[in-house]
């Protein structure tokens, strides 16, 4: 009752405003106040045009040019070969063993990075949602890795894995995981875990921040009611916390997966894709092909392939969501 009454007052109050400023034109009035209506249509674009122009010129146009590159041969080191080649690059991609290795590595890298980031981030968010002494300082300190520039995170972790100046190989050897303290970044079987560790370190704060905000939006009455009804902490977690977090978890994991699959900095700095391509993922393969070989045509072909894979992933996920929501 009070709510509708309130709403009516606000309606009454807002009417003189629109009448006086003439910014809000009722449908049907357009003929009489054509210029005002036009102005109403145009005004937002005064504010938007710089953003639209920059995004169009620096991202959208190059994106289309980039797709067209994948049908051309553009090698800066070999200018006589330039020209349209149709689907030749894609044929080459299909037969490229390095591409399939990189594709497999992309799945491995993305899956393990996101899994660890998510569970450690969820744990941290739940801890931060409780009360303890020195919480503000604690929160600032555990979120710090998120602010560390990625190239620096990569270098720092590469140094930590170096047996000369880093403690990690010695600890791993002491635990019996390594036979002797050597650099795992040089071992094709283990090298991928180096960048993954750095990525976990860098990414946990992001998940913690997002999930913490979602946790804080859960009404505390629900927990109080559960407490009165004698629910165990585990029941509270599975019956209240998880269902409330689920939409946030779904959207964060989806966005993060795409972001991590595209994320080349850490691997490029730590291993450069080596040893023997064991850490080469699609995005580092794109970058090394463009940057070291200056073969823009082929780099764009790999990029289009990555884009298609990500699109398929997004479509599957959206379809799954639709299905699950119906039930």
Q: Which is nearer to another protein, 192 or 304 (CB)?
A: 304
Cβ 108 to another protein, closest distance in Å?
Answer: 18
Q: Which is nearer to another protein, 74 or 192 (CB)?
A: 74
Q: Where are the beta strands (DSSP E) in the chain?
A: 72-73, 83-84
Cβ 28 to another protein, closest distance in Å?
Answer: 17
In angstroms, the Cα distances linking 300 to 34, 172, 261, 277, 308 are: 48, 40, 16, 19, 12
Rounded to 10 deg, the angle between the 296-326 and 97-128 helix axes is 50
Q: How large is the C-alpha radius of gyration of the chain?
A: 27
Cβ 185 to another protein, closest distance in Å?
Answer: 13
Q: Which is nearer to another protein, 62 or 91 (CB)?
A: 62
Q: Hey, CA dihedral for 7, 11, 13, 14, is it positive or negative?
A: positive
Q: Which is nearer to another protein, 256 or 327 (CB)?
A: 256
Neighbours of 167 (CB within 10 A): 13
In angstroms, the Cα distances linking 121 to 124, 132, 157, 192, 197 are: 5, 18, 20, 21, 14
Which H helix or E strand runs over 203? helix 193-216
Cβ 143 to another protein, closest distance in Å?
Answer: 7
Q: Which is nearer to another protein, 299 or 327 (CB)?
A: 299
DSSP string, 98-127: HHHHHHHHHHHHHHHHHHHHHHHHHHHHHH
Q: Which is nearer to another protein, 288 or 327 (CB)?
A: 288
Q: Which is nearer to another protein, 191 or 304 (CB)?
A: 304
Cβ 195 to another protein, closest distance in Å?
Answer: 14
Q: Which residues, including other chains, have CB under 8 Å from residue 302's CB and lie 6 or more apart?
A: 93, 99, 102, 282, 285, 286, 289
């Amino acid at each position: 009752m009070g709510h509708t009454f309130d709403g009516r007052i606000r309606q009454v109050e807002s009417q003189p405003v629109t009448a006086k400023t003439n910014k809000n034109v009722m449908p049907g009035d357009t003929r009489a106040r054509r210029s005002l209506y036009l102005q109403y249509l145009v005004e937002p674009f005064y504010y938007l045009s710089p953003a639209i122009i920059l995004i169009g010129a620096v991202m959208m146009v190059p994106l289309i040019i980039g797709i067209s590159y994948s049908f051309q041969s553009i090698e800066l080191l070999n200018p006589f070969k330039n020209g349209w080649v149709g689907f030749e690059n894609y044929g080459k991609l299909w037969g490229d063993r390095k591409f399939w290795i990189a594709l497999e590595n992309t799945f491995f890298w993305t899956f393990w990075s996101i899994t660890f980031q998510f569970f450690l981030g969820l744990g941290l968010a739940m801890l931060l949602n409780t009360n303890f002494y020195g919480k503000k300082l604690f929160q600032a300190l555990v979120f710090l890795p998120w602010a560390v520039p990625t190239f620096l995170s990569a270098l720092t972790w590469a140094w930590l894995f170096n047996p000369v100046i880093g403690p990690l190989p010695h600890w791993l050897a002491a635990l019996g995981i390594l036979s002797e303290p050597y650099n795992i970044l040089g071992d094709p079987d283990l090298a991928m875990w180096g960048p993954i560790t750095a990525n976990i370190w860098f990414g946990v704060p992001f998940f913690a921040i997002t999930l913490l905000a979602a946790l804080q939006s859960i009404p505390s009455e629900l927990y109080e009611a559960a407490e009165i009804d004698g629910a165990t902490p585990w029941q509270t977690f599975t019956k209240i916390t998880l269902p409330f977090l689920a939409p946030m978890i779904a959207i964060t994991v989806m966005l993060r997966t795409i972001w991590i699959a595209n994320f080349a900095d850490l691997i490029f700095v730590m291993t450069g894709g080596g040893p023997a391509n064991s850490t080469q993922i699609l995005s580092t393969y794109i970058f090394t092909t463009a940057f070291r070989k200056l073969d823009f045509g082929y780099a764009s072909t790999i990029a289009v392939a990555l884009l298609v894979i990500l699109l398929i992933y997004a479509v599957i996920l959206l379809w799954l969501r639709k299905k699950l929501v119906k039930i």
